[in-house]
Amino acid sequence: MGHNPRTLTVCRDPEELGQQASDLVSRVICEAADTQGRAALALAGGTTPRALYLALARPPLVEAIPWNRVHLFWGDERCVQPDHPESNYRMALETLICRVPLPEENIHRMRGDLPPQQAAEAYEEELRGYFRVPMGGWPRFDLVILGIGTDGHVASLFPGSSALEETARWVASPFVEPLQAHRLTLTLPVINHAAHVVFLVAGREKADILRRVLAEEDADTLLPAHMVRPLRGKLCYFVDEAAHHQVSLGPLSSTKD
C-alpha cells in the first residue's frame, strides 16, 4: 500500500524534541491561518507533548503564532473532570492555554466529565459544527499530534479495540480493558484525513515499539500506530535518541540533529 513520504527527526532529548516539533507546528499554524483564516490542531495527552506545548508558549513562537486564529481540539481524553490530574485538557491548560492569548471559544474540550457515549456524540457534533463537511465526508485537521504507547496505542486507540474498525463515527468512547476505564478518542479515519500527523516519541522505554512501528512489521502484528497513514497528509516522527537507539534506519528519510 503506497504511503505518503514519512520524515524522521532524531533529537538529543525530550527538550530538543519539543523545540524541533514546535518549529513545524508553528509553521503549519501560520500557513493555515494565512490560507484558510484559521488552523485546527488536535492535541495529544500524556507527558511527551509537554515540551512542545511549552515551546509554543514562549518566545519567539508565542509572538509569531496568530493565537486568535488557532482552534485547539483533542485527539483523546480521559473520562475525568477537567481539573483531574489525569486530564489531557488540564495538561494542555497548564503548559499552553494559560500562557497564550487564545479566545475561550477557540478551545474545544472533549467533555471527559460527561458519560462517555454522550461525550463522544457531543464532540462529534462540535467537530461537525466547526468543519461543516457534508454527510459522509471527513474533517481535515491541519495537524494532529500523537504519542505512541509502549503497546503501540495512539490517542486512545488501543491494540484489539473495536474502535480501530470504526468507519463512520468521528469520535469513539471505547472501554479500554488494560486501563479498566472508558476513554474518548478521535477515530482512525479522522486522524488519517489530517493534513499533518506528528508523532512525538521519547524515552528508552519506547525504543522497542518505535523500532516495530518504523520497521512496518508484517500485517498480522499491525499495531494502532501502524494504522496511522494520512491519506493525503504528511507523517512526521519526532523522536529522541533514547527512543531511537534500537532503530536500524528503514525506509525513512531522516535528518539527524
Contact 185, 201 (CB under 8 A): no
Contact 214, 177 (CB under 8 A): no
Task: Say how far apart CA 83 and CA 60 lie, in whole Å.
Answer: 29
Closest distance between ligand 6PG and the C-beta of residue 68, in Å?
26
From residue 196, alpha-carbon distances to 4, 80, 84, 160, 191 in Å are 11, 28, 30, 25, 9
Question: Considering beta carbons, is residue 33 or 166 the nearer one to ligand 6PG?
Answer: 166
Q: Which residues contact 3 (CB under 8 A, 6 or more apart)?
A: 229, 235
Contact 68, 100 (CB under 8 A): no
Residues 83-142 that bind ligand 6PG (CB under 6 A): 88
Nearest C-alpha neighbor of 256 from the set 236, 241, 243: 241
For ligand 6PG (CB under 6 A), the number of binding residues is 14
* Residues in the chain, overall count: 257
Q: Is 22 in the site for ligand 6PG (CB under 6 A)?
A: no
Task: Say how far apart CA 189 and CA 140 lie, in whole Å.
Answer: 10
Closest distance between ligand 6PG and the C-beta of residue 158, in Å?
9
* AA letter at 49: P
Cell numbers given for 81: 473532570
Closest distance between ligand 6PG and the C-beta of residue 65, in Å?
22
Q: Which stretch binds ligand 6PG (CB under 6 A): 1-9, 107-115, 118-126, 149-157?
A: 149-157
Q: Strands (DSSP E) along 31-174, which ranges?
A: 39-43, 70-74, 76-78, 143-146, 171-172
Cell numbers given for 97: 492555554
Question: Considering beta carbons, is residue 20 or 88 the nearer one to ligand 6PG?
Answer: 88
Question: Considering beta carbons, is residue 154 or 197 the nearer one to ligand 6PG?
Answer: 154
Residues 35-94 that bind ligand 6PG (CB under 6 A): 44-48, 75-76, 88
Question: Considering beta carbons, is residue 88 or 106 the nearer one to ligand 6PG?
Answer: 88
Question: Considering beta carbons, is residue 36 or 47 the nearer one to ligand 6PG?
Answer: 47
**Torsion angle of C-alpha atoms 227, 232, 233, 235, degrees rounded to 10:** 40
Task: Say how far apart CA 53 and CA 57 lie, in whole Å.
Answer: 6
Question: Considering beta carbons, is residue 76 or 142 the nearer one to ligand 6PG?
Answer: 76
For ligand 6PG, which residue of 143, 144, 155, 210 counts as binding (CB under 6 A)?
A: 155
Closest distance between ligand 6PG and the C-beta of residue 223, in Å?
12
Question: Considering beta carbons, is residue 18 or 75 the nearer one to ligand 6PG?
Answer: 75
Q: Which stretch binds ligand 6PG (CB under 6 A): 148-156, 171-179, 208-216, 224-232?
A: 148-156
Residue closest to ligand 6PG, measured at CB: 147
For ligand 6PG, which residue of 14, 18, 139, 147 counts as binding (CB under 6 A)?
A: 147
Q: Which residues of the chain form contacts with ligand 6PG (CB under 6 A)?
A: 44-48, 75-76, 88, 147, 149, 153-156
